[in-house]
Amino acid sequence: MIELFSVTKRYASGQVGLDNVTLKIDAGQMVFLTGPSGAGKSTFLKLIYCEEIPSSGSILVNGRNVSSLPRRKVPYLRRTIGVVFQSFRLIPRKTVFENICYLPRILGSSAQEQKELAYETLRRVSLSHRMNASPHQLSGGEQQRVAIARALMNQPEILLADEPTGNLDPELSEEILRLFLEINGQGTTVIFATHDRDLIQRVGRRVLTLEAGQLTGDQKLPGELNDAIGPGQGTMGPGQGTIDLEEEA
């Protein structure tokens, strides 16, 4: 569960990133975060994974106050949170396997463990056949799926996505969105930031709207895609609630 209590983030430059935001996101929820450029979407996500600290207010992630977390404890928090960015952020000269095994390797997993986990995780994003490819040999949508696999390697409780479809065309964007819905259906809490309201229009989940750092909307969209996918609010166990990505393509 993620809880924000009167959270304000004012940058050193004086810019307000977030302005007195209070809200709660239950474990297993899928939430969209929307609003125009500069509204505070990235700030919101950075505060949750402790890339930034709030100027005032507090943030609880799974009951732990992360707004006052000592720097040395941040890596432990990050192990429970996966993050995906618009620009994929893959290491160009490494293979898909090496890219996604970075963290397990430094955490001391054996080569065999890394291989099994990598294969299993790539299978979740339908890319197990590209394990030894380099990022430049993959399409944009495939690169983003690798980035999602990398975020899933730690089996995070929370998956944060900052404009993950920002560099993709509408068709691929929907494919990536469906993948996030599927991951959510397997129990992971997902926060998906996007300014693309058309993309989320049909999904039927909770939508938080930010404007100039303030939370100006918190609504539940009715949606057709939602019905095709099922409840997906974290009540299903792993492996259940899986949707076929081709189904409606």
Ligand X SMILES: Nc1ncnc2c1ncn2[C@@H]1O[C@H](COP(=O)(O)OP(=O)(O)OP(=O)(O)O)[C@@H](O)[C@H]1O
Dist. CA 19–CA 37, nearest whole Å: 15
Question: What minimum distance in Å lies between the beta carbon of 123 and Mg ion?
Answer: 30
Question: What minimum distance in Å lies between the beta carbon of 130 and ligand X?
Answer: 29
Show contacts with ligand X in window 185-224 (CB under 6 A): 195
**Strand 16-25's sheet: what is its strand order?**
16-25, 2-10, 56-61, 64-65
Q: Give the nearer residue to ligand X in terms of CB position, either 149 or 207.
A: 207
Question: What minimum distance in Å lies between the beta carbon of 41 and Mg ion?
Answer: 5
Show contacts with Mg ion in window 39-78 (CB under 5 A): 41-42
128 CB neighbour count, 10 Å cutoff: 15
Among 7, 30, 39, 138, binds ligand X (CB under 6 A): 39
Contact of residue 15 among Mg ion, ligand X, none (CB under 5-8 Å per partner type): ligand X
Dist. CA 101–CA 117, nearest whole Å: 9
Encoded one letter per residue, x for contact with ligand X by CB under 6 A and - for no contact, window 77-106 reads ------------------------------
Contact of residue 28 among ligand X, Mg ion, none (CB under 5-8 Å per partner type): none
Q: Give the nearer residue to ligand X in terms of CB position, either 40 or 232.
A: 40
Q: Which residues contact 248 (CB under 8 A, 6 or more apart)?
A: 228
Dist. CA 8–CA 4, nearest whole Å: 10
Closest CA to 25 of 151, 141, 119, 157: 157
Q: Of 20-28, 38-46, 116-124, 197-205, which part binds ligand X (CB under 6 A)?
A: 38-46
Residue ranges with strand state E in the chain? 2-10, 16-25, 30-34, 56-61, 64-65, 81-85, 158-162, 189-193, 206-211, 214-220
What is residue 31's three-state secondary structure?
Answer: strand
* Residues in touch with Mg ion (CB under 5 A): 41-42
* Residues in touch with ligand X (CB under 6 A): 11, 13, 15, 17, 35, 37-43, 195
